């Protein structure tokens, strides 16, 4: 067992505690990664706040990048010293979903209570989201790791692990957007900006950003939005129709977990359009819509988990786009913080002003 520093959640809704924990060596099919950076996702904050329950004490964090420093048996395609992105997508590779090309919906459960980390006293410590990235090191399944070019900075690369693949993937994979189609993106935060980028890369005709903040709408135009609409305006879907030349959108990407956004999302659709549900409200929250309206004009609503990505296929493509200057990633980072500052970084993220805050490790 190695001793490392980690930010531990002991009680939902309370500050994380930076403390020593133990992490074991990688076993069959596992990889040890010494982290350079881990980004703070709103999902981490929601979990730590108790929005979806879970086991405690726990180490959250799932948007990470670093260097491979240990290999278990049975590893191929990775070597010590490789630069990698670490994701929460732990896919078994053999269940019906994995075999059918949908690894984000892997049906094989993972018990984070019996993962590679423990308290220094040898007690249970939950590896949240199969990652436990708010720590100096992680030990994860090899299928969660993707080798990347060392030319991309690790703080930038960490964003790809969740927010980027979720936003870009929602447009490219889940919506299957074709060149010339129109998109509305509700929410211009970290995931929303990446959905906007995905729409731009896919060749969307017009991209409408909808948000409650004028400042965020200004940023959205920098990432490729052609129009910005305040969600607080009266019937904002009417302004969207006008911007699209009197028609509804082919796809509406909801990137926030706000119920009002889900209630309004179908109103932006055109005939045959579909709502892509990305943002995750708290458990028990419900939305309302008129099924007859969707049925009458062939519309639909589908969930998108992690952008329906295949990480070994999609992450290298996105890294390459970044290296070509076609995918904005550096601009997504609002602040860089040390692990000891994680509670301040989380508080800053909660304000809604940050695009992505990143914890960086000095090695």
H or E element: which one contains 315? helix 311-324
Burial class (CB in 10 A: 0-12, 13-18, 19+), 124: middle
- In this structure, are residues 154 and 66 in contact, taking their beta carbons and an 8 Å threshold? yes
Q: Which of 252, 250, 317 is nearest to 278 (CA)?
A: 252
pLDDT, tens digit only, all 363 positions of the chain: 999 999 999 999 999 999 999 999 999 999 999 999 999 998 999 999 998 899 999 999 999 999 999 999 999 999 999 999 999 999 999 999 999 999 999 999 999 999 999 999 999 999 999 999 999 999 999 999 999 999 999 999 999 999 999 999 999 999 999 999 999 999 999 999 999 999 999 999 999 999 999 999 999 999 999 999 999 999 999 999 999 999 999 999 999 999 999 999 999 999 999 999 999 998 899 999 899 999 999 999 999 999 999 999 999 999 999 999 999 999 999 999 999 999 999 999 998 878 899 999 986
pLDDT of 47: 92
Q: What is the DSSP letter of 55?
A: -
The pTM (predicted TM-score) of the whole model is 0.94
Q: What is the DSSP letter of 324?
A: H
Phi-psi region of 63 (alpha: psi -120 to 50; beta: other; left: phi over 0): beta
Domains of the chain and any CATH numbers? 2-161+328-360 (3.90.180.10), 167-304 (3.40.50.720)
Q: For the sheet containing 269-277, what is the strand order?
A: 227-230, 207-211, 183-186, 249-254, 269-277, 300-303
Q: Which of 275, 273, 164 is nearest to 210 (CA)?
A: 275
Q: What is the DSSP letter of 75?
A: -
């Amino acid at each position: 067992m190695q001793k490392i520093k980690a930010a531990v959640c002991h009680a939902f809704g309370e500050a994380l505690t930076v403390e020593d924990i133990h992490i074991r060596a990688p076993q069959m099919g596992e990889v040890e990664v010494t982290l350079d950076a881990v980004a703070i996702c709103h999902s981490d904050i929601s979990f730590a706040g108790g929005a979806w329950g879970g086991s405690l004490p726990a180490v959250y964090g799932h948007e990470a990048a670093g260097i491979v420093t240990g290999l278990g048996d049975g590893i191929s395609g990775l070597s010590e010293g490789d630069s990698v992105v670490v994701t929460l997508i732990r896919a078994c590779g053999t269940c019906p979903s994995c075999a059918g090309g949908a690894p984000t919906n892997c049906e094989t459960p993972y018990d984070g209570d019996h993962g590679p980390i423990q308290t220094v006293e040898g007690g249970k410590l939950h590896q949240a989201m199969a990652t436990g990235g708010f720590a100096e090191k992680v030990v994860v399944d090899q299928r969660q790791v993707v080798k990347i070019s060392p030319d991309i900075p690790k703080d930038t690369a960490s964003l790809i692990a969740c927010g980027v693949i979720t936003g870009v993937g929602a447009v490219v994979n889940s919506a299957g957007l074709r060149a010339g189609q129109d998109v509305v993106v509700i929410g211009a935060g970290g995931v929303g900006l990446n959905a906007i980028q995905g729409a731009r890369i896919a060749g969307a005709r017009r991209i409408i950003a909808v948000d409650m903040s004028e400042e965020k709408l200004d940023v959205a135009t920098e990432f490729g939005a052609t129009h910005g609409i305040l969600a607080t305006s009266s019937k904002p879907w009417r302004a969207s129709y006008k911007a699209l030349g009197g028609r509804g959108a082919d796809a509406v990407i909801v990137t926030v977990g706000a119920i009002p956004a889900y209630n309004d999302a179908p109103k932006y659709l055109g005939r045959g359009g579909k709502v892509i549900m990305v943002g995750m409200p708290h458990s028990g929250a419900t939305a309302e819509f008129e099924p007859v309206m969707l049925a009458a004009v062939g519309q639909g609503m589908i969930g998108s988990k992690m952008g329906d990505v295949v990480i070994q296929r999609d992450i290298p493509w996105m890294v390459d786009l970044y290296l070509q200057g076609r995918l904005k990633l550096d601009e997504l980072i609002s602040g860089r913080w040390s692990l000891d500052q994680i509670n301040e970084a989380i508080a800053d993220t909660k304000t809604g002003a940050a695009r992505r805050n990143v914890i960086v490790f000095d090695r």
